[in-house]
């Protein structure tokens, strides 16, 4: 069960609801978001009198939710959530394409990438300063120096930045550089200490990528860790799951998009670059994702893909990004949306 408090509810009113629930024999978890506070009732909620709780001052709604993920469930919030990223809406009528290189390499590369992203009509830029790699001997990213390069290049073009957080100890640095969207990568989807910290320490939007073999239920529960901490600004990112096939990098689970849309009110985007692992597959996977209802794309674009320091095979160039945006825009219009 969850109790949704009014946006005008006072601290005393919230505390009174907590005390009343505990008196009825259940434990509580208070999740304080920017726009609303949600109190979760944990335990045997059959002993909770909904009418008594609903009558308390400051209570907006009392919902019995059987699913283990309560705050991120559509049952708790039937309308689609639109997340505001520096005035850019993600999750509404307008589809957002987030583009940029796999990794931050040099200031020149990042400036060229930012110009290409802007010229294509994208409103947000991606780039990895810290890189999780399968091999310890491959390029691991430029670290804090890369974060500075990224921030400067994106700011010059007026682009909010998306970059991956791997270590909870770097969260303060991310906040210092005012990272606009924190990405939690595939390998960290179930790093629960990291999820808890980005939940309780910041309201910065979080892109949560699906684990390589994670079920949708496990993915939703990972998001619940963030939401339970108080950060409700969560974006799901499908990036393909591991399968037996070797003709492409991962298997894009297009079915996950409508399933997530049914289960959660939060936005869903797709990373076609990591799914296919080859640049020539990016357009087709992108079109399929948008047709299936995705709210956006996370695309790898490099000014000169053949010179990329990592994942060169899956990066498109700026001209290909412009073509992609034009075709995605056409599909969006058919669906009554825009890019």
List Cβ neighbours of 37 (8 Å cut-off, separation of 6 or more): 4, 5, 9, 14, 30, 31
Domains of the chain: 2-64 (3.30.70.1140), 83-334 (3.20.20.70)
Record the tokens describing residue 154, joined without a space. Answer: 């994106």
Residue located via tokens 């999820």:
195
Q: Alpha-carbon distance 41 to 232, whole Å?
A: 18
DSSP 8-state assignment for residue 215:
-
Return d(Cα 80, Cα 96) in angstroms, integer.
Answer: 15
How many whole angstroms separate alpha carbon 21 and alpha carbon 52?
10
Kindly state the tokens that stand for 287: 């079109």
User: What does the pLDDT look like over 276-329, one tens digit per residue?
Assistant: 999 999 999 999 999 999 999 999 999 999 998 888 899 999 999 999 999 999
Q: Which two tokens stand for residue 88?
A: 């850019």
Element (H, E) at 29: strand 27-32
User: At CA 281, angle to CA 327 and CA 332, rounded to 5?
Assistant: 25
267 vs 251: CA distance, rounded Å:
21
Angle, helices 256-263 vs 216-229, to 10°: value is 40
- Among 62, 72, 142, 139, CA closest to 110: 142
| Both structure tokens of 229 | 């901490």
pLDDT of residue 199: 96
The model's pLDDT over 256-287, given as tens digits with 9 standing for 90+, comes to 999 999 999 999 999 999 999 999 999 999 99
Reduced to 3 states (helix: H, G, I; strand: E, B; else coil), residue 183 is strand
pLDDT value of position 35: 79
Ranges of the chain whose pLDDT falls below 70: 133, 137, 139-140
């Amino acid at each position: 069960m969850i109790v949704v408090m009014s946006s005008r509810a006072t601290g005393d009113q919230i505390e009174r609801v907590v005390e009343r629930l505990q008196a009825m024999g259940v434990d509580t978890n208070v999740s304080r978001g920017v726009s609303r506070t949600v109190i979760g009732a944990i335990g045997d909620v059959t002993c909770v009198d909904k009418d008594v709780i609903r009558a308390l001052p400051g209570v907006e709604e009392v919902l019995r939710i059987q699913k283990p993920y309560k705050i991120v469930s559509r049952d708790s919030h039937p309308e689609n959530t639109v997340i505001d990223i520096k005035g850019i809406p993600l999750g509404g009528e307008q589809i957002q394409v987030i583009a940029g290189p796999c990794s931050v390499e040099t200031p020149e590369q990042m400036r060229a990438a930012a110009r290409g992203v802007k010229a294509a009509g994208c409103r947000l830029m991606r780039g990895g300063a810290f890189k999780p790699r399968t091999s310890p001997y491959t390029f691991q990213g430029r670290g804090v120096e890369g974060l500075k390069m990224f921030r400067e290049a994106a700011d010059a073009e007026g682009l909010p930045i998306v970059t991956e957080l791997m270590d909870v100890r770097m969260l303060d640095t991310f906040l210092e550089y005012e990272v606009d969207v924190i990405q939690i990568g595939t390998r960290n989807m179930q790093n629960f200490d990291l999820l808890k910290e980005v939940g309780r320490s910041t309201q910065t939007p979080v892109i949560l990528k699906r684990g390589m073999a994670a079920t949708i239920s496990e993915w939703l529960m990972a998001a619940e860790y963030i939401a339970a901490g108080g950060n409700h600004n969560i974006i799901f990112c499908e990036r393909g799951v591991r399968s037996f096939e070797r003709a492409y990098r991962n298997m894009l689970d297009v079915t996950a998009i409508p399933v997530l849309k049914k289960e959660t009110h939060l936005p869903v985007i797709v990373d076609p670059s990591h799914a296919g692992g080859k640049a020539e597959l990016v357009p087709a996977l992108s079109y399929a994702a948008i047709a299936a209802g995705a709210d956006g794309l996370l695309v790898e674009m490099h000014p000169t893909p053949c010179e990329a320091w990592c994942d060169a095979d899956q990066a498109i160039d700026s001209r290909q990004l412009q073509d992609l945006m034009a075709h995605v825009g056409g599909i969006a219009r058919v669906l009554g949306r825009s890019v």
